[in-house]
Every structure is written in structure tokens, then in C-alpha cells.
Amino acid sequence: MTLIYYLAAAVAVISTAMVITRSNAVHALLYMIVSLLSLALIFFTLGAPFVAALEVIIYAGAIVVLFVFVIMMLNLGAEATARERRWLQPKAWIGPAILTAILFAEFLVVVATEPAATGAPAGVGVKRVGAALYGRYVLGVELAAMLLLAGLVGAFHLGRRVPSGDEEDES
Amino acid sequence: MTDVLLQVAVILGVLNAPLILAALLIWLERRFLALLQDRYGPNRVGPLGLGIVLADMIKIFTKEDWVPPFADRAVFTLAPAVIVITGLMSVAVIPITETIGVTDLNIGLLFFLAMSSMGVYSVVLAGWASNNKYALLGGLRASAQMVSYEVFMGLSLMGVVLMAGSFSLRDIVAAQQDIWFIVPQFLGFVIFFIAGLAETHRLPFDLPEAEAELVAGFHSEYSGMKFGMFFVGEYVGVTVIAAMIVTLFFGGWMGPVLPGIVWFGLKLLFFILIFILLRAALPRPRFDQLMAFGWKVLLPLSLLNLVVTAGALLLWKA
Amino acid sequence: MSDAYLPILLIFGVSALNAVFMVALSHILNPRRPTPQKAMPYESGMIPLGDTRARFSVKFYLVAISFIVFDLEAVFLIPWAVEMRALGWSGFVAASIFVAVLTAGLVYEWKKGGLDWD
């Protein structure tokens, strides 16, 4: 199981790096899906199958679909890829990369010096999530409903076509 | 060691069954459709025309597998593989009998939903990678249709989950010991059935590939085995949806006298035939009608079904 | 983590192999005869006009947003559905409020014409 965990973690890291470096947006998104799927696998191995399923259903299956939709709608072509490539010049990413490297080094030091967390995490089943969500955290659920409502209404108004008689593509 | 070997054998068997079934389904569909339309269908090659399955396979494997030069080669090849893989993986959680079945996940139903949400990518990517107007339009349509009906599908199944109190498909079948869920969850069944048709973009919901307006939709540019894989994927999808209907609403393997596997097979065949019958019987709606029907009828109904089921269960318990 | 999940990995391997096998076999068996006509996007025999870079209706974006919102709704209801019996009426009321709030969103979108395709 540990082996699967480390394999999935490696896949997650590599595919995330690929997401950043691809200049073609759809290729980047494909790597992103792979990255999210390997995260789901990591949750599986950590004993949280429900979270793993959500990772696939929500992130890989819904949010990335929205990204793909937007990319297909804007339908960026070769020049977008070329621009993306220009933006990926070393002078653009070298500063953030150095800063991130410092953070990462600090993180490694912390991990190496701190005592490891004791015991494997117990499995978290759906039922336990349900009991917690609709018991102690019920207010959070209702707030989430409000947030989703706001998202729905906001997106509707942002996406609404201004009635100006513009020619729209039939679809 | 023998345990592992046995498991591998079961996996290979259960996985390849839908592939073989898919090939047979193509024959079955053509014959049954012909019967419904008062003609013969393929009846020349071999007994009952069954040889057509083999002939089709040889043909499709030896056709030119053309990748257009303007397409995105890698994504173009990946897209049909996605639909086959996700389809076959959904088969993994379906319990065929008490003992036969690849695995019994405690989140089996969620796994099925996750796989069907991954299946969307095959049409989106095919449409995008083809770099063809019709393919892109077909891909967009297909994905809008599939993601919408995925929501209704998920919500319609919550009634079943409420009644069974579990996501394990084996538990769900076991919970139907007294009464099949088709009776208390009739509304859920209807919604799931319609959403299942839309998910597999079968007729009458085959708008993404409506040949009169979109050539062949997202697979316009596909040929040879890559096209064949979309075909196989569609039939694996039909099999999976039919199997889910049997499992969730019709008591899975349960039935009197005959052994479980026979019951499962009979029920599965029945629903596959219904799928084909619908193809022969129903006209295709317009795309806006399809979307409006989903959001305005199926979504409120599935939410209502959910709340009413929960309320009734709580009242009944009290 | 139970043994139930190992077959999933196995099955992913086997189905991926199946897919690769199909592509590879046809790659080996098929003939290749490219012609200039084949290299054109298929548009029912017409010479293609323009390219695929037309922009599409924003409707699809709205569908995608609605999809995410209601998919999340379903996801919130999933844990409640399994635990419903134990949670009892308090859980039922909480879930009903949750559903009611989002139904209000649906009704709003409906009334404003967001659900009509055109």
C-alpha cells in the first residue's frame, strides 16, 4: 500500500509540473486531470474513500470540465499557444521558482526535524462524514447552500447575454 | 496465490464479458431493429447472421486508421480509449451474483458516478482534438448534455441510497429482499432511465451525433478502430446502465427458482432490448428541448423524490 | 484501505491494456493510403470554409456553472442520504433547508429565463 501511495504521489508531482509547463491549454488540463486522479488515489490509500470519490466527481469531473468548456468556447488557437510559450521564458518564472525553492527547503527541514505523526489515520467512511456534517457542522452545510446560491445567481448574471441584437453563434 | 489467480481470472472474465457482449449487441441491435421495422437485418453470414460479428471485427481492424493531419494526434488517440476504459471500470463494481463480481466497494455507487463523470472527457476531447467544426459542436453538445444528465442521475439515485442506507451495490441488492426498489422508487427509476439514455447518448438522445445536422458529431473525423472504440464504448455504456438498473431497482440477481446469474442475465437482456426498442420507437428531440426538459422537469422531480422519500422513511420508522 | 480497492487498480490496468491493444492491433493491421482529400476536415464534401476557431454560445458556460452547483448539491446530500436514519428529523430539516435554498436558485434562474436555450 505504501508503494501505491508513493507511486501516486510521484505521478501527482510530475503531472502537476507538466500542467505548469505545457503551453497548450488543453494538454495542461489533461495533466491536471491526471494529477487530480492521483490525488484521489492518495486519499484512497490514506483510508478516505469518500473524499477520493469526491475528488474525482467534483474536481476531475466537474471543475476541470468547466475549464475545458471555457477553453473550447474561447477556442484559442496557435497564437495563444505561442503567447503561452513566450510567457514561460525563464525571466518570468525564475523569481517565483527561487522563492518557492526556499519555502520548500524550509518545509523539508521542518519535516526532517519534527517527530512523525503517530499511527495510521483511521478510515473515514461516508457515514462518519454524514454524521459530522449534519450534526456538529450543520451550519456549514447551510452556509454552503447560500454560497452555492450566490455562485449560481452571480454566474447567471455574468453570463447573461445583453439583449443588444448582437449576432451570436448558433449552437 | 490461488486466491490472487482466481481474482485475476474473475477480473478478466467480468471485464471481457462486456466487450464480447458489445460485439454481440451490435448484432442483436441490428436484428431486433430489423424485426421491429419489418425487415431482415444481417442474416447471411453464419447461423442467424451471427457471423456478422466476426466479419465486422475483421473489417474494422483492417480499415485505415486515419488520423487527420490537422488533428491533435495524442489527444485524438486518447479520446476513444477514455470511453472504453471508464466503461469497463464501471463494470467492476456491479455485483452479478452474491459471489460473482470483481469487487464490492463500500462506495460502489459513487465509483459508478465518478466513472460516468470521467466518461465525459472522451467526447469533449474527441470534439476538440478533431479540429473540425462539426466535431467541436458535437463535442460541446455532448458534454453539455452529459454533465447535465449526470446531475439528475446522481440525484435520482439518492432515493435508493436513502432506502438502502449504503453505497455498496451488494448491500443495495440485499436491501431489496422484501420488495424491489422499482415499487417505492418508481420516480427515481424513471429519472435514472432517462438520464442513462442521455449519458450514453443513445437514441432518442443522440443529439451530439445527430447525422442530419452535425454529420457524426464528435466522431466525424474518426475512422477504423478508433471509431470502433467509440462504438464499443457506447455498447459497454448501454450494458452498464442496464446492469445498474437491474441492480438498483430490480433486485439484481434475486428471483425465484432459477439461479442468480440466470436472473441477472435475463433482466439485463430485457433492459438492453428496451434500449433498442426505444431507438426504434421514439423521435429525436431538439437540443433546447432536451436541456430544458432536464433542468425544468427532471431536476425538480428528483429533488422532490429525494425529500419525499426521506420524509416517508422517517414517518414510517416513527 | 481494504482489499476491496486493489482489484480497482488491477481493473484499471486490464482495461487500459484492452484499449491499448485495440489501438495497437488496428495500427498494425490497417493500410495507409493518404490522399489530399482525406487531409481536409470533413464537411459533407464541401470545401471547408474558415477554420474551427468560431466562438461558441455562452449558454454552454451557464450549463457548466449550473452543473457544478447542482453537482455540489448532490455531493452534500450524499453523506446525509446514507446516514439519514441515524440523523433523524433534525438531519431531515437541515437537508430540506439545503435543498430549498438551491431550489430557490433554480427557480430564480428559471424565472429569469436562464434555463431557456435561446
**What is the predicted pLDDT for the residue at A11?**
92
8 Å CB contact of A127 and C60: no
**What is the predicted pLDDT for the residue at A77?**
64
How many CB atoms lie under 10 A from the CB of residue B316? 7
Q: How far apart are CA C29 and CA C37, in angstroms?
A: 22
CB B166 within 8 A of CB B106: yes
8 Å CB contact of C66 and A152: yes
Subunits touching C (CB < 8 Å, at least 3 pairs)?
A: A, B
What is the amino acid identity at position B131? N
How many CB atoms lie under 10 A from the CB of residue B85? 27
**What is the predicted pLDDT for the residue at A103?**
92
Mean pLDDT of the region C27-42 = 72
Subunits touching A (CB < 8 Å, at least 3 pairs)?
A: B, C
Q: Is the reported ipTM for this assembly greater than 0.85?
A: no
Cell of C67: 452543473
Q: Closest by alpha carbon to B22, among B78, B111, B91?
A: B91
Is B29 part of any domain?
A: no
Is B106 part of any domain?
A: yes
State what percent of residues in chain C have pLDDT above 90: 1
Closest chain C residue by Cα to residue A80: C53
Contact list, A73 vs chain C (CB under 8 Å): 55-56, 58, 60-61
Number of domains in chain B: 1
The three-point CA angle B300-B301-B302 to 5° equals: 95
Q: Closest by alpha carbon to C108, among C71, C69, C57, C60?
A: C69
Domain boundaries, chain C: 3-111
Is A32 near chain B, with CB under 8 Å?
no
Is B4 part of any domain?
A: no
8 Å CB contact of A72 and B140: yes
**What is the predicted pLDDT for the residue at A168?**
46
Indicate whether C75 pLDDT > 50.
yes
CB B77 within 8 A of CB B227: no
**What is the predicted pLDDT for the residue at C57?**
66
Residue with cell 430490480: B250
8 Å CB contact of A155 and C75: no
- Those of residues 12-51 in C touching chain A at CB distance below 8 A are 51
Q: How far apart are CA C43 and CA C32, in angstroms?
A: 22
- Those of residues 83-142 in B touching chain C at CB distance below 8 A are 84-85, 88-89, 92, 102-106, 110-111, 130-134, 136-137, 140
8 Å CB contact of A61 and B118: yes
Is B47 part of any domain?
A: no
8 Å CB contact of A47 and C87: no
**What is the predicted pLDDT for the residue at C65?**
84
How many CB atoms lie under 10 A from the CB of residue B132? 25
CB C65 within 8 A of CB A155: yes
Q: How far apart are CA B238 and CA C3, in angstroms?
A: 29
CA distance A61 to chain B (A): 5
**What is the predicted pLDDT for the residue at A166?**
47
Cα separations (Å) of B25 from A76, B42, B197, B198, C31? 40, 13, 16, 19, 27
Q: Which of C53, C57, C82 to mutate to test the interface with B (most CBs of B within 10 A)?
A: C82
CB C99 within 8 A of CB A148: no
Is B1 part of any domain?
A: no
8 Å CB contact of A134 and C54: no
What is the amino acid identity at position B255? G
Beta strands in chain B (DSSP E): none
Q: Within 13 A of A169's CA, how many CA atoms are on the CB side?
A: 15
Residues of chain A predicted below pLDDT 70 = 1, 75-78, 115-123, 161-171
Domain containing residue B234: 63-317
Is B77 part of any domain?
A: yes
Q: How far apart are CA B181 and CA B185, in angstroms?
A: 5
8 Å CB contact of A68 and B128: yes
Q: How far apart are CA A43 and CA A40, in angstroms?
A: 5
Contact list, B147 vs chain A (CB under 8 Å): 62, 65
- The residues near B41 (Cβ < 8 Å, ≥ 6 apart) are B30, B31, B32, B33, B34, B35, B49
Q: Within 13 A of A85's CA, how many CA atoms are on the CB side?
A: 7
8 Å CB contact of A131 and C105: no
CATH number of the C3-111 domain: 1.20.58.1610
**What is the predicted pLDDT for the residue at A102?**
92
Per-residue pLDDT in tens (0 to 9) along chain B, 318 residues: 567 777 777 777 777 777 788 878 888 888 888 888 888 878 777 787 788 888 888 888 887 777 777 777 888 888 888 888 888 888 888 888 777 777 777 788 888 988 888 888 888 888 888 777 777 777 888 888 888 888 888 888 888 888 888 888 888 888 888 888 888 888 889 999 999 888 887 777 776 666 666 666 777 777 778 888 888 888 888 889 999 999 888 888 887 878 878 888 888 889 988 888 888 888 888 878 888 888 888 889 999 998 898 888 888 877
Indicate whether C1 pLDDT > 50.
no
What percentage of chain C's residues is helix, strand, coil (to nearest 5)? 70, 0, 30
**What is the predicted pLDDT for the residue at B6?**
75
Residue with cell 469487487: B103
**What is the predicted pLDDT for the residue at B282?**
82
Nearest to C70 among B151, B165, B167 (CB): B151
Cell of A89: 521564458
What is the amino acid identity at position C114? G
Closest chain B residue by Cα to residue A33: B118
